[in-house]
Chains A and B, each alone.
Chain A
Amino acid sequence: MIKVLTKSIREYMRSTILTPVYVALEVLLECILPFVMADLIDHMNGTSMEPVVKYGAILLVMAFASLFFGVMSGREAATASCGFAKNLRHDMFYRIQSFSFADVDKFSSSSLVTRMTTDVTNVQNAFMMVIRIAVRTPLMMIFSLIMAFSINAKLALIFAVMIPVVGFALGMVIRTAFPIFRRIFHKYDALNTSVQENVSAVRVVKAFVREGYEQEKFGKASEDVRQEFTLAERVVSLNNPFLTFGIYTSLLLLNWFGANVIISSHGSALSTGELTSLITYGVQIMISLMMFSMVVVMITIASESTERIVEVMQYEPTLVSPENGEMTVADGSIDFEHVSFRYAGNSKKKALSDIDLHIGSGETIGIIGGTGSSKTTLIQLISRLYDVTEGTVKVGGKDVKEYDLKALRDQVAVVLQKNVLFSGTIKDNLRWGKKDATDEEILHVCRLAQADEFVQLFPDKYDTWIEQGGTNVSGGQKQRLCIARALLKKPKVLILDDSTSAVDTKTDALIRRAFAEEIPDTTKIIIAQRVSSVQDADQIIVLDGGRIVEKGTHDELLKEKGIYSELYTSQTGKEA
């Protein structure tokens, strides 16, 4: 699992390795420093400045070296961790770009966002911890122990006793705290969801006068979080007194036994300076222990994030472009040959069964059907947004699986039902269809999509800034801009999935007339709720429960007296 992540270190490998090296050198110096300091104290005799100058100079040199290593390790760690995070996000983003519709459905976009943001930040912090602190603390402990033993092995045994005692206590704290933290994360999530729902559904809350109900609900959830979080913090807070206890006990023991040793040996087995160094080492050892326990906590917290990231990185996209795929789409003809389709998550029910349909290049096809009749599913197979379960879909006479995906999708433009405009100017958004579209081209497609008229009314015209999600244009305006965007591609097949539902009938008719006149060679497939949107089509298909139940022209279908004619009557009030 970790291997997947370490692949993202790449050019920051140098920094990643240098950091612990510098850290080790810094720690080494930090451990020798008290030793030299002890020498300084011991040699200070009150008669000559010579020892002060000598040891002072050594100390200064060491301090500068330690400064250098410390600064370097800090800088390298910054580069390594930020670089690692950058590459990780890059890898994830690129991986996600290769996901198919089915893959995006599987993960859900909000979960992908969390994985790319919060989870990466967690892992980045843990990474920095590992290369700095996880190297630093054990080294510090080992060096300090070695130094302590070299000063006086007997007294150093005090540490040998204290380390396991304090270490055990800290370990218990982590073990108790971790499951609580896990629980907290879930409760905290629930709390945030509740806030988020209340913010976006404020109109519903107010309309049903549910403010009090929501407040009560929130109060309970926040009380829940408070109780758990207090418990967790109290457990973790025990670290501090445990550590203080460890330090103080060591100090008392050191002072007592140390004084005894000094006095009984008349300073030959241990000097006062050495005693102070021992104390310094003792404190360092205990603090390292606590830091180490913190690192363990951080890593365990990050491990869940790691899992979620790895899941994305190791996920093989279910739908890939064939190698050396066909690059040109001959024409806009479409053939469905006995096509059946199932969504992966819903494998019991077939979304489409035995669809057999042949559309000639340049034809206009209307598709109509009830909620859940799989209209959208049908057209998504044409640009290979999903792969068929059985049968084949052909565009321009060739199986869609033979085409290079980009080549196919450039020729089959789909205006999705749930469409999105992105933050940027209107022009920026339209140029999604064609990167280098000229102003004339943009104007042309907007006229076709009946968008030019309202765009001209905006103060900034085509440079009007569109907010994220296109919230500052109306539903109908958004739909027309989305159609224009698709038209810019000059596709051989144009699919409108209920794309004019918010556009009034008159404008809708104008759009269709423009299509007929301006892009006669493009195959047009129109999904609609309104009979008026499809009645001029060369062929109208009525879907019900994933099957084609009626097929023919407007007049033919009216004569059939089936679903279509029923719809026509209900919508127009005219008898078929």
Chain B
Amino acid sequence: MNKKLAVKPGTFSRLLKYILSKYTGTIIIVMICIIFSALSATVATVFMQRLIDECIIPGMTTGMDSVYKKMVSLILTMGFIYVLGVLGNLIYTQLMAVVTQGTLKSLRDDMFFKMETLPIKYFDTHAHGDIMSTYTNDADAIRQLIGQSLPMIFQSTLTIVSIFLMMLFYSVWLTIVVAGVCFLMMTISKKYTGASTKYMIRQQESLAAEEGFIEEMMGGQKVIKVFTHEEESEKKFDEYNEKLFINGEKAHKAGNVLMPILGNVGNLMYVVLAAVGGTLVIMGLPNLSLRGVSPISIGIIVSFLSMSRQLSQTIGQVSMQVSMIAMGIAGASRVFELIDEEPESDDGYVMLVNAYKDENGKIHETEKKTDFWAWKHYHKDSDTTTYQELKGNIEMVDVDFGYVPEKLVLHNVSLYAKPGQKIAFVGATGAGKTTITNLINRFYDIPDGKIRYDGININKIKKPDLRRSLGIVLQEVNLFTGTVMDNIRYGRLDATDEECIEAAKLANADDFITRLPDGYDTMLTGNGSQLSQGQRQLISIARAAVADPPVMILDEATSSIDTRTEELVQRGMDNLMKGRTVFVIAHRLSTVRNSNAIMVLDHGNIIERGTHEDLLAQKGTYYQLYTGAFELE
């Protein structure tokens, strides 16, 4: 949590620059309008004083007629200034709405665009809740900052400066009194906003902790029921809840009392001013002002009093913004942190293209879908382009790999997969099966290229093209919000409905899909939570089938499907993958039995390899795994 609160220096100016880079013109107009809006409020007090001194007081003795003209002109000028003020206000608030939302959109887009380019490692090492909160909480805090706090601070600063300037024109002595009280107000608000911010943060922390607990308990509600653990979880919840209450109460108390305190310090200022002003008048002391030295008048004191009220109100408003600004800047800091992340690097230049062979056996590139792929090499030194047929030959030579350099997960792994072969990996969880597939599609990069695809070092293949050539079905199924059809089509965006249904039939998913209330148009939400684990796996297999890739990786793709259905799925997949390479990871040995080669992995080493029959004959680990259950009898 402390790490999260650290604000990178320069965040605020970076945010300003970010806004200005898109809205320089608009911001200038906004500032001019704010100046009008702020000045109109201040100038009003001057006119009030002039109205009293120049019209009302002489008018009371000389009668209405003598001051009528003056009064009309004063009121008209005032009206004119007010019109400018209202217009300024109208224009700047409208423009700021545009600026705020526009900036937020580009921040969101920048975050998301960057996020999509980040390596898998980023997602494996950052809590998903934290990433989400950057989009929600932090973006909200920035909205507050840009939309409300910034214009308000600007306007308030203007108001405060102009009031002080005007005060100096009236009386230096009284201005000093006001400045003294303002200093006191700042000190007080610093203390309270400090406390408020501190407890606000604590409140946020305990809120986050409680939310985490609620999330965990709601997710595990069925386990709670099974273990009749309700009372314990209630007790634990109350602890979190109490902590949140205590911190929340403190935060709100500090926040809530600031306004009344400042307001009444303002009242105090009023009395002090009246006393000092009154004394000055009575003693007839010379009044020093920017206009020179003159006797102090009641009118001056009256203006001062109303200016002081305005001043204390403005300071109150500013101090209410302090916590908001702090939270906004902290949010911006995290947003920029995400935007600054290093994207996945890709130095590949070999591309995957649709192609066809002419009668001479020469390969030509084409835009059309031909069911024939070729690797397109561009040779820089000779400025020529060559094409090579994609076959699905995968070769790993002496691969060592660790997610962290100190701890190797794979040792010296070598393997060959020829086109059309089915290669299986078996072994305990953590043996490195998934890691191998992570390397083949370059979710993680090996420091030195020892993996070759059709003889090409995979580091030379553009990542998107490499991945397009590999279909992958993962154990953890992720479906997207949308219809079943949309989810299958995710495999190939231009697939027709018929092709999607065909793929579903192949995956043996058509049966249950057509029995869903809306068939293929059934909306899936929350990662397809309305489906069973097995059904979700079937959809994800259909999704990979529609992509129709030359190489397929099935990582525990059928673990939640019963063996009978699995057989049907496999038969379909075998048809689809005829002549193509398939990697299969499974702990269920019936899944891998008909593979061309089975690799038994243990602690990152391939300890056995061969066909099912070979391995059984070896009577090694595979044999033990396979017959384990019987051996014990």
Would A195 and B257 be within 8 Å (CB), given that A259-B56, A420-B223, A570-B590 are in contact? no
Closest A residue to B590 by beta carbon equals A571
* CA gap between A74 and B275 in the complex, in Å: 30
Would A199 and B271 be within 8 Å (CB), given that A112-B218, A570-B563 are in contact? no
Interface bits A316-333 vs B (CB < 8 Å: 1, else 0): 000000000000000000
- Decide: A244 and B241 in contact? CB cutoff 8 A: no
Residues of A within 8 A of B282 (CB): 46-49
* CA gap between A477 and B429 in the complex, in Å: 9
Question: What's the minimum C-beta distance from A235 to chain B, rounded to whole angstroms?
Answer: 9
Instruction: Pick the contact of B281: A44, A206, A280, A405 (CB < 8 A).
Output: A44
Interface flag for A85 (CB, 8 Å): yes
Closest B residue to A223 by beta carbon equals B105
Top 6 A-B pairs ranked by shortest CB distance? A70-B260, A74-B256, A506-B628, A201-B478, A474-B429, A78-B252
Closest B residue to A409 by beta carbon equals B228
Instruction: Pick the contact of A385: B71, B131, B225, B593 (CB < 8 A).
Output: B225
Residues of B within 8 A of A225 (CB): 105
- Decide: A204 and B474 in contact? CB cutoff 8 A: yes
Residues of A within 8 A of B263 (CB): 30, 66, 70
Interface flag for A520 (CB, 8 Å): no
- Decide: A406 and B228 in contact? CB cutoff 8 A: yes
Interface flag for B350 (CB, 8 Å): no
Interface flag for A229 (CB, 8 Å): yes
Residues of B within 8 A of A75 (CB): 253, 256-257
- Decide: A207 and B470 in contact? CB cutoff 8 A: yes
Closest B residue to A506 by beta carbon equals B628
Residues of A within 8 A of B587 (CB): 476, 502, 504
Interface flag for A77 (CB, 8 Å): yes
Question: What's the minimum C-beta distance from A101 to chain B, rounded to whole angstroms?
Answer: 6
- Decide: B279 and A567 in contact? CB cutoff 8 A: no
Interface flag for B268 (CB, 8 Å): yes
Interface bits A195-239 vs B (CB < 8 Å: 1, else 0): 111111111111111110111001100110110011001100110
* CA gap between A264 and B55 in the complex, in Å: 12
Question: What's the minimum C-beta distance from A457 to chain B, rounded to whole angstroms?
Answer: 11
Residues of B within 8 A of A198 (CB): 112, 115-116
CB-CB contacts below 8 Å: A416-459 with B:
416-420, 422-423, 432-433, 435
Would A226 and B271 be within 8 Å (CB), given that A90-B241, A370-B562 are in contact? no
Instruction: Pick the contact of B229: A116, A432, A502 (CB < 8 A).
Output: A432
Would A255 and B75 be within 8 Å (CB), given that A74-B259, A86-B241, A197-B480 are in contact? yes
Interface bits B103-132 vs A (CB < 8 Å: 1, else 0): 011001100110111001001000010011
- Decide: A209 and B468 in contact? CB cutoff 8 A: yes
- Decide: A192 and B249 in contact? CB cutoff 8 A: no
Interface bits A88-100 vs B (CB < 8 Å: 1, else 0): 0110011011111
Interface flag for B230 (CB, 8 Å): yes
- Decide: A204 and B478 in contact? CB cutoff 8 A: yes
Interface flag for B245 (CB, 8 Å): yes
Interface flag for A387 (CB, 8 Å): no
Would A41 and B526 be within 8 Å (CB), given that A82-B245, A264-B64, A422-B220 are in contact? no
Question: What's the minimum C-beta distance from B560 to chain A, rounded to whole angstroms?
Answer: 8
- Decide: B100 and A233 in contact? CB cutoff 8 A: yes
Question: What's the minimum C-beta distance from A133 to chain B, rounded to whole angstroms?
Answer: 11
Question: What's the minimum C-beta distance from B425 to chain A, rounded to whole angstroms?
Answer: 14
- Decide: A66 and B274 in contact? CB cutoff 8 A: no
Interface flag for B90 (CB, 8 Å): yes
Instruction: Pick the contact of B215: A113, A128, A385 (CB < 8 A).
Output: A113
- Decide: B559 and A418 in contact? CB cutoff 8 A: no
- Decide: B52 and A70 in contact? CB cutoff 8 A: no
- Decide: B216 and A422 in contact? CB cutoff 8 A: yes
Interface flag for A347 (CB, 8 Å): no
- A to B CB contacts below 8 Å, 21 in the list: A41-B298, A49-B278, A59-B270, A66-B264, A74-B253, A78-B252, A90-B241, A100-B225, A101-B222, A195-B132, A197-B480, A201-B480, A208-B543, A222-B109, A272-B302, A383-B226, A409-B228, A422-B220, A474-B429, A529-B563, A570-B567
Give the residue among B90, B302, B589, B630 with the most A Cβ atoms within 10 A: B302
Interface flag for A79 (CB, 8 Å): yes
* CA gap between A78 and B493 in the complex, in Å: 54
Please report whether the interface of chain B is mostly helix, strand, loop or mixed according to DSSP: helix
Residues of A within 8 A of B628 (CB): 504-509
Would A229 and B101 be within 8 Å (CB), given that A37-B270, A47-B282, A502-B559 are in contact? yes
Interface flag for A251 (CB, 8 Å): yes
Interface flag for A168 (CB, 8 Å): no
Interface bits A15-50 vs B (CB < 8 Å: 1, else 0): 000000000001000100100010011001011110
Would A52 and B52 be within 8 Å (CB), given that A44-B301, A86-B245, A99-B221 are in contact? no
Closest B residue to A260 by beta carbon equals B64
Interface bits B373-413 vs A (CB < 8 Å: 1, else 0): 00000000000000000000000000000000000000000
Interface flag for B172 (CB, 8 Å): no
Closest B residue to A417 by beta carbon equals B533
- Decide: B443 and A203 in contact? CB cutoff 8 A: yes
Please report whether the interface of chain A is mostly helix, strand, loop or mixed according to DSSP: helix
Residues of B within 8 A of A209 (CB): 464, 467-468
Closest B residue to A203 by beta carbon equals B474
- Decide: B248 and A420 in contact? CB cutoff 8 A: no
Residues of A within 8 A of B55 (CB): 259, 263
Instruction: Pick the contact of A256: B75, B147, B257 (CB < 8 A).
Output: B75
* CA gap between A328 and B614 in the complex, in Å: 56
Would A59 and B271 be within 8 Å (CB), given that A74-B257, A86-B245, A90-B241 are in contact? yes
Question: What's the minimum C-beta distance from A484 to chain B, rounded to whole angstroms?
Answer: 13
Closest B residue to A507 by beta carbon equals B628
Instruction: Pick the contact of B249: A79, A98, A204, A260 (CB < 8 A).
Output: A79
Residues of A within 8 A of B135 (CB): 191-192, 195
- Decide: A63 and B221 in contact? CB cutoff 8 A: no
Residues of A within 8 A of B78 (CB): 251-252, 255
* CA gap between A501 and B512 in the complex, in Å: 23
Interface bits A48-91 vs B (CB < 8 Å: 1, else 0): 11011101100110111011011101110111011101100110
Interface flag for B534 (CB, 8 Å): yes
Categorize the interface residue count of chain B.
35 or more
Question: What's the minimum C-beta distance from A145 to chain B, rounded to whole angstroms?
Answer: 20
Interface flag for B420 (CB, 8 Å): no
Give the residue among A55, A226, A229 with the most B Cβ atoms within 10 A: A226
- Decide: A371 and B249 in contact? CB cutoff 8 A: no
- Decide: B267 and A63 in contact? CB cutoff 8 A: yes
Closest A residue to B531 by beta carbon equals A372
Residues of B within 8 A of A573 (CB): 593
* CA gap between A26 and B260 in the complex, in Å: 9
Residues of A within 8 A of B455 (CB): none
- Decide: A262 and B60 in contact? CB cutoff 8 A: yes
Interface locus among B79-87, B326-334, B356-364, B445-453: B79-87
Interface bits B207-225 vs A (CB < 8 Å: 1, else 0): 1001110111111111111
Interface bits B272-314 vs A (CB < 8 Å: 1, else 0): 0011011101100000000000000010011001100100000
- Decide: A215 and B234 in contact? CB cutoff 8 A: no
- Decide: A476 and B82 in contact? CB cutoff 8 A: no
Closest B residue to A467 by beta carbon equals B127
Interface locus among A103-111, A155-163, A355-363, A547-555: A103-111
Closest B residue to A276 by beta carbon equals B306
Interface flag for A557 (CB, 8 Å): no
- Decide: A206 and B274 in contact? CB cutoff 8 A: no
- Decide: B302 and A109 in contact? CB cutoff 8 A: no
Instruction: Pick the contact of A74: B63, B233, B260, B470 (CB < 8 A).
Output: B260
Interface flag for B51 (CB, 8 Å): yes
Instruction: Pick the contact of B131: A30, A199, A241, A469 (CB < 8 A).
Output: A199
* CA gap between A259 and B59 in the complex, in Å: 9
- Decide: A241 and B97 in contact? CB cutoff 8 A: no
Closest B residue to A210 by beta carbon equals B490
- Decide: A371 and B535 in contact? CB cutoff 8 A: yes
Would A372 and B252 be within 8 Å (CB), given that A117-B214, A255-B48 are in contact? no
Would A252 and B279 be within 8 Å (CB), given that A86-B244, A209-B468, A237-B97 are in contact? no
